[in-house]
Amino acid sequence: MISPSIFVPFLDSELEALIQPRPGEVRVGQVVSVLGASPAPESWQQAHRAGARYALLGIPEDLGPRANLGRPGSEGAWEAFLQVFLNQQANHFLPSRQVLLAGRVQTRDLQEAARGLGSEPRDIQRLRELCSQLDARVAPLLQEIVASGLIPVVIGGGHNNAFPIMQGVVAGLRARGEDWKRGLAVVNCDPHADFRTLEGRHSGNGFSHAQQAGLLASYFVLGLHEGFNSQEMLDRLVASGGRYVTYESVFVRRELDFGQALDQACAHVLASACPVGLELDLDALAGMPSSAQTPNGLSCEEAARFLHHLAHRVPVAWLHLAEGAPSLAPEGGLRQVGKALAFLVSTFLKAG
């Protein structure tokens, strides 16, 4: 059983408090299943046997972005998502009954330990230590979800969590009797490759850590921004077998269209014959409150098209949406980030 020090399951009482009912209508939150107060490994399996296909999991933290010298705020995305997603209409367009509302990783003590830490070298070192502690909580939880046959849909939190997610997915597949010695494939829609050196754990080196650990067999970055990735990192990425298509090559120079870029991503990861993770950093969306917010980027519709296109064509093992930071918007950030996340998750669920 996962310890309460690692995981906080979602309760029916919390669900009721979030739903805004209206006569004659049914909300998604009134249809999804809830894991329960004392989940055991059998609980995930029972939910799967009862018809659940996807497990929604939150990681409310901003340790990883701060440890990467980024801005705080990504701890609020999970709450923002729930407020919108659970109050959508439950109708025939969305497979709401296939959704298990699992809960969140316990991060409160880690967030409290990081309170007041800044950008001094000693503080950054401490943030990276806390990020490693978070890894040790995320990985076993993902293992249990995947071992039960459920597909994790993870709302961050920072992009640092890509590494322990991959650790947990591989362990979960092996627990199901699937020995993926070749590793996993990932398509990451992100302005940054997150392939920085192994200088401690943070949001900028989740995939380089995964590659070093033998977890990452195939890696494709979609929408990479040419001015915000070092040549040294790009060279290491390509040398490891990774590939990328830049934002500028699609939307500025028009060397290929977005559909062709999506096809390249599909072809690259399909060639690996490995389970595929879909990673989407909200930094990729123009004007979205996030750790590295940018004025130039994908629209929310283009991000949804990315998820729809890939989910239809590759064997998806997980979805991870990272770096949304509602508090960084002067006003309305909670609603903006929540609606974007709810739209993106809904698009993914519909494509499955």
Is the pLDDT at 179 greater than 80? The verdict is no
Q: Report the alpha-carbon distance of residue 326 to residue 333 in Å, rounded.
A: 4
HSE value, Cβ hemisphere, 13 Å, CA-based, for 309: 19
Q: How confident is the model at residue 306 (pLDDT cuts 50, 70, 90)?
A: very high
For residue 119, what are the contacts with CB-CB under 8 A and spacing of at least 6?
A: 69
- Tell me which CATH code domain 7-351 carries: 3.40.800.10
Segment 99-125 shows an average pLDDT of 97
Convert 249-261 into a string of H (helix), E (strand) and C (coil): HHHCCCCCCHHHH
Report pLDDT digits (tens) over 212-227.
Answer: 999 999 999 999 999 9
**Percent of all residues in the chain with a pLDDT value above 90, rounded to a whole number:** 89
The overall average pLDDT reported for the chain is 95
At 174 the three-state DSSP class reads helix
Segment 96-104 shows an average pLDDT of 97
Q: Report the alpha-carbon distance of residue 162 to residue 317 in Å, rounded.
A: 13
Segment 48-64 shows an average pLDDT of 97
Q: Report the alpha-carbon distance of residue 177 to residue 6 in Å, rounded.
A: 25
Q: Report the alpha-carbon distance of residue 95 to residue 346 in Å, rounded.
A: 9
Q: Cβ(196)–Cβ(126) under 8 Å?
A: no
The b-or-e profile of 43-54 (16+ CB within 10 A means b, else e) is: bbbbbbeeebbb
Domain boundaries, the chain: 7-351
How far CA 276 is from CA of 42, 270, 317, in Å, comes to 26, 8, 5
How many other C-beta atoms are found inside a 10 Å radius of the C-beta of residue 290? 29
Segment 310-321 shows an average pLDDT of 97
Q: How confident is the model at residue 182 (pLDDT cuts 50, 70, 90)?
A: confident
Report pLDDT digits (tens) over 72-97.
Answer: 999 999 999 999 999 999 999 999 99
**Percent of all residues in the chain with a pLDDT value above 70, rounded to a whole number:** 98
Question: Which pLDDT value is given to residue 342?
Answer: 98
**The model scores a pTM over 0.75:** yes
Question: Which pLDDT value is given to residue 38?
Answer: 65
Question: Which pLDDT value is given to residue 332?
Answer: 73
Report pLDDT digits (tens) over 18-48.
Answer: 999 999 999 999 999 998 766 666 889 999 9
Give Cα 307 distance to the centre of its chain. 12
Where do the H-state alpha helices sit in 240-332?
247-251, 258-270, 300-313
Q: How confident is the model at residue 1 (pLDDT cuts 50, 70, 90)?
A: low
